[in-house]
Amino acid sequence: MEKLMKMIVINTLIMTMLIGCHDSGPRKFYDVEYGAFVVEVTNSVLGVPNSISMNFYKIEEDGYGRMIYIFSGFSITAEDNERVGRQLWAVLIQQKTDDDYVYYYPDFNFIVKEFADSKQSVSKDVFLENTYHQLPKEEIEALKENNDWNKPFNADKMIKKPILDFGKTIKAARVSEDGLKKVYEGEFKDNYPNPDNFFVYMTSDDFGRDIFFCRTVDDRLKYKDSYLIMFFPDDSYLIYEITDLWNYQEELKEFKVTNLWNQPFME
């Protein structure tokens, strides 16, 4: 059983205490360590808005400063009904951080799990006993192996994301509200009632591609199908249906590779 380090539980009040007093564009988090957790989670785990209250539990560090930690919070992947919010939890590995960026290996830097009981208002020790300590040892060891635990850093495997708070907006992406609404009207209007909360921004590459996640509903407003949508700088897009919301790392990687994620466009 891993030795527990201190727990960080920070609510949305802390999340909104940002450096600076103007409202133009995203700003750095007041707490950079917390911001690094938020950025890695929202760029990795499907369906997690970056405007919600999140809990983080630091578990372990390796000899190079990598950190393994747990996130718990709201995600639409854990909902079975549009009006019933549920939570999930995930184990993630962060390679390192500095004052401006968080560094991690994309796609295989996490394990995501659904709560057996969505009511998780329990103590830290009970929470960890019901989640992290129930994971098979081989799952943790595979996660560590995929992220070079206790090995020298490999810059070629890392990506970096700025530790900036985009709040309730989608300014992290280059896709306009009008662009999203056009896709909603053309592709999903008959299968979801409200365009304002349909798309959840996930991540962007360095060349203008952006990935969003969304779910449609049936006639009883129960969630039905789930999709990744990749937008391109020329306003074109690709839609990919994702079927396993708990073991999608390989699918997500393949979707990116197939569509030349983070590669320059041919002229």
Identify the helix (H) or strand (E) that includes residue 165. strand 164-165
pLDDT of residue 235: 85
Q: Which two tokens stand for residue 159?
A: 């990506």
pLDDT of residue 195: 87
Q: Using an 8 Å Cβ cutoff, are 236 and 186 in contact?
A: no
Closest Cα partner for 47 from 189, 229, 233, 222?
Answer: 229
The pTM score is: 0.85
pLDDT per residue of the chain (267 residues) written in tens, 0 to 9: 444 444 444 333 334 333 333 445 677 888 899 999 999 999 999 998 876 778 999 999 999 999 999 999 888 888 765 444 578 899 999 999 999 999 999 999 999 998 766 555 567 888 888 889 989 999 999 999 999 999 999 999 999 999 987 664 445 567 888 889 999 999 999 999 988 889 998 999 999 999 999 999 998 888 899 999 999 998 899 999 999 999 999 999 999 999 999 999 987
Closest Cα partner for 48 from 13, 90, 106?
Answer: 90
Burial class (CB in 10 A: 0-12, 13-18, 19+), 70: buried
* Integer Cα distance of 237 and 186 in angstroms: 12
Closest Cα partner for 77 from 191, 231, 225?
Answer: 225
* Integer Cα distance of 238 and 232 in angstroms: 9
pLDDT of residue 194: 87
